[in-house]
Structure 1
Amino acid sequence: MFTHRLPHGGAIVLSGGPGAGKTSLLQALSGLGHITVAESGRAVIRQQQACGGDALPWRDRQAFAAAMLDRDRRQYRRHCDVKNRSWRFFDRGVVDVLGYARLERLRESAAMRWAARRYRYAPEVLMLPPWPDIYRHDQERKQTLAEAERTFEVLWDTYLDQGYQPRLVPRGTIRERRDWVLSHLGLA
């Protein structure tokens, strides 16, 4: 468990496969006044769909990964390269892009590997497991549940490979998960 000392500026990553409840958990943390940072993948998809771009996971996965990495680096610099030392909760981090490249068997660019080493978060990454009961498709989430489960496994291994300590967030209501995170971090 963390103490009130803010590891890596209090930058906490919530990760896992799609449809596991990360965004809902982030919204619950934001509702209590915590700083939260939305995932880059959905923002890139929305932006690319709006402009008719090809950097989409169903068109050009390598370009999609590069666009996510660019956005993740900007998000990190915006929220972590500042003097403010309050807790920040990220819906995914730069390591997720490296995990995506591994999942999709894309070329792991030097920029991906460098960013994973340079932009560091708290050593413990909070991982939300696949959860069939809440998994839903939408305009941006087109993966099957099996793909979501595989994504979780690859991300878990990628975070381990990058020197992080993945920690499973138990299933439960949004409030139960929020309270677990806060208790686990010593913020309850």
Structure 2
Amino acid sequence: MRFIFRIVQKEIIVLLGGPGTGKSTLINELVARGYCCYPEISREVTLEAQKRGIEQLFLEQPLLFSEMLLEGRIQQFKNAKEEPDNVVFIDRGIPDVVAYMDYIGDEYPEHFIKACEDYKYSKTFILPPWEEIYQSDTERYENFEQALEIQKHLIETYKKYGYDLIEVPKDTVENRILYILDKI
């Protein structure tokens, strides 16, 4: 009798897209379905800064904000590698930090680029801008036109680091989830 062993490779999957494209909604639904997911950390960083009296850390100290995000996203990647689950979804990835810094036109240290090169995701799903679902809130200061510009920087940055972006169609949450699951 012969046994065939299949080695299952860890899939670390990023959901990316400009502000208000539905990433967090999909992450929340994936969590509800029992998938291992890591939430967007920029809201945590923003809320922590607000507790210290800095209303919009990204606007007031973009490099500090981005350093904190980069550190957090690297830690998420490392933690995802250690998860017992074979598939881990992450709301935004390391290259997002570079894309946002390019969007605002600020310089950043070389280790930002090195992080994008060193930590590679298995798959990248991009959610397109969708004006009908877009909403601003206390942590999302961009308007829809700015969200479109951010989307361009995200696409450019991820492609620069060799990612094939899988575009998730505008559809119901259920159908978007099914589309993503079908592609993995």
TM-score of the superposed pair, with normalisation by structure 1: 0.89
Does the Cα contact within 8 Å between 2:170 and 2:176 map onto a contact in 1? yes
Q: CA 1:38–1:127 in structure 2 vs 1: closer, same or farther (change >3 Å)?
A: same
Following TM superposition, the consecutive aligned residue runs of length 4 or more in structure 1 with deviations greater than 4 angstroms are 4-7
Does the Cα contact within 8 Å between 1:54 and 1:63 map onto a contact in 2? no
Does the Cα contact within 8 Å between 1:55 and 1:67 map onto a contact in 2? no
- Matched residue SS, 1:131: coil
- Matched residue SS, 2:30: helix
Question: Which consecutive unaligned segments of at least 5 residues does structure 1 have?
Answer: none
> How far did residue 83 of structure 1 move?
6.4
Question: Which consecutive unaligned segments of at least 5 residues does structure 2 have?
Answer: 1-5
Q: CA 1:54–1:135 in structure 2 vs 1: closer, same or farther (change >3 Å)?
A: closer
Aligned-pair RMSD on alpha carbons?
Answer: 1.7
> How far did residue 184 of structure 1 move?
1.5
Does the Cα contact within 8 Å between 1:6 and 1:85 map onto a contact in 2? no
1:96 aligns with 2:96: yes
- Matched residue SS, 1:14: strand
CA distance in 1, matches of 2:91, 2:167: 15
CA distance in 2, matches of 1:101, 1:69: 11
- Within a 5 Å distance, the mapping from 1:34-183 to structure 2 comes to 34-53=35-54, 56-80=57-81, 82=82, 84-122=84-122, 124-183=123-182
> How far did residue 84 of structure 1 move?
2.7
- The residue aligned with 1:32 is 33
Does the Cα contact within 8 Å between 2:127 and 2:168 map onto a contact in 1? yes
Q: CA 1:42–1:84 in structure 2 vs 1: closer, same or farther (change >3 Å)?
A: same
Q: CA 1:140–1:5 in structure 2 vs 1: closer, same or farther (change >3 Å)?
A: farther
> How far did residue 52 of structure 1 move?
2.3
- The letter for the 2-side match of 1:128 is L
Counting aligned pairs with the same residue, the percent is 28
Q: CA 1:168–1:6 in structure 2 vs 1: closer, same or farther (change >3 Å)?
A: farther
Q: Which has the larger radius of gyration?
A: 2
Does the Cα contact within 8 Å between 1:6 and 1:87 map onto a contact in 2? no
More displaced 10-residue stretch of structure 1: 44-53 or 25-34: 44-53
- Matched residue SS, 1:90: strand
**How many pairs align?**
179
